[in-house]
Amino acid sequence: MIRDKGHTPKSGQEKTAYVNYIRKLDYEPTKDESLDFNESSDNEPDYSIQKANKVKRLSIWEQFQLHIEENWVKWIIAGVGIIISFFIVSSQISFSSINIKQDQTEKDINKINSNIEEINSTNHQQDMKIQKNELTIEYIKDNQKSEKK
Protein backbone atom coordinates (compact mmCIF):
# COMPACT_ATOMS: atom_id res chain seq x y z
CA MET A 1 0.00 0.00 0.00
CA ILE A 2 1.37 3.41 -1.00
CA ARG A 3 1.01 6.32 1.36
CA ASP A 4 0.89 9.74 -0.23
CA LYS A 5 1.16 11.72 2.96
CA GLY A 6 2.95 11.26 6.22
CA HIS A 7 6.26 9.81 7.33
CA THR A 8 7.57 6.58 5.87
CA PRO A 9 9.77 4.59 8.23
CA LYS A 10 13.38 3.86 7.36
CA SER A 11 14.85 0.41 7.33
CA GLY A 12 17.67 -0.49 9.67
CA GLN A 13 20.30 -0.10 6.90
CA GLU A 14 18.99 3.35 6.01
CA LYS A 15 19.19 4.43 9.65
CA THR A 16 22.79 3.32 10.09
CA ALA A 17 23.80 4.92 6.78
CA TYR A 18 22.21 8.21 7.87
CA VAL A 19 23.94 8.18 11.28
CA ASN A 20 27.32 7.47 9.62
CA TYR A 21 26.73 10.31 7.13
CA ILE A 22 26.01 12.78 9.95
CA ARG A 23 29.16 11.74 11.83
CA LYS A 24 31.32 12.30 8.76
CA LEU A 25 30.08 15.85 8.18
CA ASP A 26 32.43 18.64 9.08
CA TYR A 27 30.88 20.68 11.81
CA GLU A 28 30.62 24.40 11.22
CA PRO A 29 29.91 26.86 14.01
CA THR A 30 26.50 28.51 13.97
CA LYS A 31 27.86 31.91 15.03
CA ASP A 32 29.19 34.09 12.25
CA GLU A 33 32.53 35.37 13.52
CA SER A 34 32.55 38.23 11.04
CA LEU A 35 29.87 40.02 13.05
CA ASP A 36 31.07 42.18 15.90
CA PHE A 37 29.10 41.38 19.04
CA ASN A 38 30.08 43.35 22.11
CA GLU A 39 30.48 41.10 25.05
CA SER A 40 28.40 42.17 28.03
CA SER A 41 30.02 43.14 31.28
CA ASP A 42 28.62 43.18 34.76
CA ASN A 43 29.02 46.97 35.00
CA GLU A 44 26.48 47.73 32.29
CA PRO A 45 22.75 47.72 33.04
CA ASP A 46 20.84 44.61 32.03
CA TYR A 47 18.22 45.38 29.41
CA SER A 48 17.20 41.83 28.77
CA ILE A 49 13.55 40.86 29.13
CA GLN A 50 13.01 39.23 32.44
CA LYS A 51 10.77 36.32 32.93
CA ALA A 52 7.23 37.26 33.88
CA ASN A 53 6.59 37.28 37.58
CA LYS A 54 4.06 34.78 38.76
CA VAL A 55 0.70 36.39 39.33
CA LYS A 56 -0.37 36.10 42.92
CA ARG A 57 -3.51 34.02 43.17
CA LEU A 58 -6.24 36.11 44.74
CA SER A 59 -8.78 34.77 47.17
CA ILE A 60 -12.42 34.68 46.14
CA TRP A 61 -13.18 37.68 48.37
CA GLU A 62 -10.35 39.71 46.79
CA GLN A 63 -11.50 38.70 43.30
CA PHE A 64 -15.02 39.82 44.21
CA GLN A 65 -13.77 43.16 45.55
CA LEU A 66 -11.67 43.73 42.44
CA HIS A 67 -14.63 42.90 40.21
CA ILE A 68 -16.89 45.32 42.10
CA GLU A 69 -14.25 48.08 41.93
CA GLU A 70 -14.01 47.67 38.16
CA ASN A 71 -17.74 47.21 37.42
CA TRP A 72 -19.60 49.13 40.14
CA VAL A 73 -21.40 51.40 37.67
CA LYS A 74 -22.74 48.43 35.71
CA TRP A 75 -23.93 46.80 38.94
CA ILE A 76 -25.76 49.96 40.04
CA ILE A 77 -27.47 50.31 36.66
CA ALA A 78 -28.44 46.62 36.73
CA GLY A 79 -29.78 46.95 40.29
CA VAL A 80 -31.89 49.97 39.41
CA GLY A 81 -33.17 48.13 36.33
CA ILE A 82 -34.14 45.11 38.43
CA ILE A 83 -35.93 47.30 41.00
CA ILE A 84 -37.84 49.14 38.26
CA SER A 85 -38.77 45.83 36.62
CA PHE A 86 -40.02 44.52 39.98
CA PHE A 87 -42.23 47.56 40.49
CA ILE A 88 -43.60 47.33 36.93
CA VAL A 89 -44.49 43.66 37.36
CA SER A 90 -46.01 44.18 40.81
CA SER A 91 -48.08 47.13 39.55
CA GLN A 92 -49.33 45.04 36.63
CA ILE A 93 -50.39 42.32 39.07
CA SER A 94 -52.11 44.90 41.29
CA PHE A 95 -53.95 46.45 38.33
CA SER A 96 -55.04 43.00 37.22
CA SER A 97 -56.46 42.15 40.64
CA ILE A 98 -58.21 45.55 40.79
CA ASN A 99 -59.77 44.93 37.36
CA ILE A 100 -60.97 41.49 38.47
CA LYS A 101 -62.54 42.97 41.60
CA GLN A 102 -64.14 45.76 39.55
CA ASP A 103 -65.65 43.28 37.09
CA GLN A 104 -67.04 41.21 39.97
CA THR A 105 -68.50 44.34 41.59
CA GLU A 106 -70.15 45.36 38.31
CA LYS A 107 -71.72 41.89 38.00
CA ASP A 108 -72.99 42.12 41.59
CA ILE A 109 -74.47 45.60 40.94
CA ASN A 110 -76.19 44.38 37.78
CA LYS A 111 -77.62 41.45 39.70
CA ILE A 112 -78.88 43.76 42.46
CA ASN A 113 -80.45 46.11 39.87
CA SER A 114 -82.28 43.21 38.23
CA ASN A 115 -83.50 42.08 41.68
CA ILE A 116 -84.72 45.61 42.42
CA GLU A 117 -86.60 45.73 39.12
CA GLU A 118 -88.24 42.38 39.91
CA ILE A 119 -89.21 43.61 43.37
CA ASN A 120 -90.65 46.83 41.92
CA SER A 121 -92.64 44.83 39.42
CA THR A 122 -93.93 42.56 42.17
CA ASN A 123 -94.78 45.59 44.33
CA HIS A 124 -96.71 47.18 41.48
CA GLN A 125 -98.67 43.99 40.92
CA GLN A 126 -99.42 43.76 44.63
CA ASP A 127 -100.56 47.40 44.65
CA MET A 128 -102.87 46.69 41.72
CA LYS A 129 -104.34 43.69 43.55
CA ILE A 130 -104.82 45.77 46.68
CA GLN A 131 -106.63 48.47 44.72
CA LYS A 132 -108.78 45.88 43.01
CA ASN A 133 -109.62 44.31 46.35
CA GLU A 134 -110.45 47.70 47.87
CA LEU A 135 -112.75 48.48 44.95
CA THR A 136 -114.39 45.11 45.27
CA ILE A 137 -114.88 45.61 49.01
CA GLU A 138 -116.32 49.04 48.40
CA TYR A 139 -118.65 47.72 45.75
CA ILE A 140 -119.81 44.97 48.06
CA LYS A 141 -120.41 47.45 50.89
CA ASP A 142 -122.36 49.71 48.61
CA ASN A 143 -124.45 46.81 47.42
CA GLN A 144 -125.17 45.76 50.97
CA LYS A 145 -126.23 49.27 51.92
CA SER A 146 -128.46 49.52 48.94
CA GLU A 147 -130.07 46.18 49.73
CA LYS A 148 -130.72 47.19 53.31
CA LYS A 149 -132.53 50.28 52.34
Please state, in angstroms and rounded to a whole number, the distance separating the CA atoms of residues 135 and 70.
Answer: 99
Give mean pLDDT, residues 118-144: 90
* Highest-pLDDT range among 6-10, 37-41, 104-108: 104-108
Flag whether 41 is in a domain: no
Q: How many domains does the chain have?
A: 1
Q: Which of 95-124 are b and which e, b meaning 16 or more Cβ less than 10 Å from the residue's Cβ?
A: eeeeeeeeeeeeeeeeeeeeeeeeeeeeee
What pLDDT does 112 receive? 94
Give mean pLDDT, residues 80-96: 96
With cut-offs at 50, 70 and 90, classify the pLDDT of residue 21: confident
Flag whether 16 is in a domain: no
Flag whether 120 is in a domain: yes
29 three-class SS: coil
State yes or no: pLDDT of 2 exceeds 60.
no
- What is the rounded average pLDDT for all residues in the chain? 84
Flag whether 14 is in a domain: no
Flag whether 79 is in a domain: yes
Q: Are 68 and 75 in contact (CB under 8 A)?
A: yes
Flag whether 19 is in a domain: no
Give mean pLDDT, residues 62-83: 94
Give mean pLDDT, residues 118-123: 90
DSSP letter string, 1-24: ---SSSPPPPPHHHHHHHHHHHHH
* Between residues 52 and 122, the one the model is more confident about: 122
Flag whether 34 is in a domain: no
Please give the residue range of the domain that contains residue 140: 61-149
Q: What is the pTM of this model?
A: 0.41
Q: What single-letter amino acid sits at 77?
A: I
Q: What single-letter amino acid sits at 20?
A: N
Question: Which stretch of DSSP H or E encloses residue 51?
Answer: none
State yes or no: pLDDT of 15 exceeds 60.
yes
What pLDDT does 30 receive? 64
